[in-house]
Amino acid sequence: MDKASVDKAKKMLSQEQYNICFLKGTEPPFSGRYTHTKDKGIYECVVCKTALFSSSTKYDSGTGWPSFWEVINSKNIKLEADFSLGQKRTEVLCKSCGAHLGHVFDDGPKDHGGRRYCINSLALDFEKAK
């Protein structure tokens, strides 16, 4: 994102959302508004509204963050190596705007490919199915 777009995002996001999306922070476990959501719909990037995850792939991983076993479209995310905590993790970013969303791990449901997209609620908006 260019500086003007980041400045615009900073004005529209809460300080906590900005910290997660652009400073690569994380919300405390079990604190997010979508951690226990069971409604049907689509989870979107809070910054640019790109569709990221369907509620049909959301599951309770017990980790304290919304977890999904699959993205709506792999072209909507970007994966990057993250060594920020002294270990190698895979960061998940919105490909459209570059917002940090969370991380993906290989400890998800084996019957769904074994991936767990561990995503911050504050990086998401939810469009409830009609």
Total domains in the fold of the chain: 1
pTM strictly above 0.85:
yes
Task: Look at residue 87 in the predicted model and tell me its pLDDT.
Answer: 87
Which structural domain, as residue segments, surrounds residue 103? 3-128
CB neighbour list of residue 84: distance below 8 Å, 6 or more residues apart: 24
pLDDT band, residue 129 (cuts 50/70/90): very high
Task: Look at residue 109 in the predicted model and tell me its pLDDT.
Answer: 95
Question: CA-to-CA distance for 128 and 11, rounded, in angstroms?
Answer: 25
Question: CA-to-CA distance for 41 and 19, rounded, in angstroms?
Answer: 26
Classify the C-alpha dihedral 23-54-87-95 as positive or negative: negative
Q: Is the pLDDT of residue 1 over 70?
A: no
Which among 21, 94, 97, 118 is annotated as catalytic? 118
Instruction: Tell me the CATH number at 70.
Output: 2.170.150.20
3 backbone dihedrals φ, ψ, rounded to 5°: -60, -40
**Residue-wise pLDDT tens digits, 48-106:** 999 999 999 999 999 999 999 999 999 999 999 999 878 899 999 999 999 999 999 99
Q: Is the pLDDT of residue 117 over 80?
A: yes
45 included as an active-site residue: no
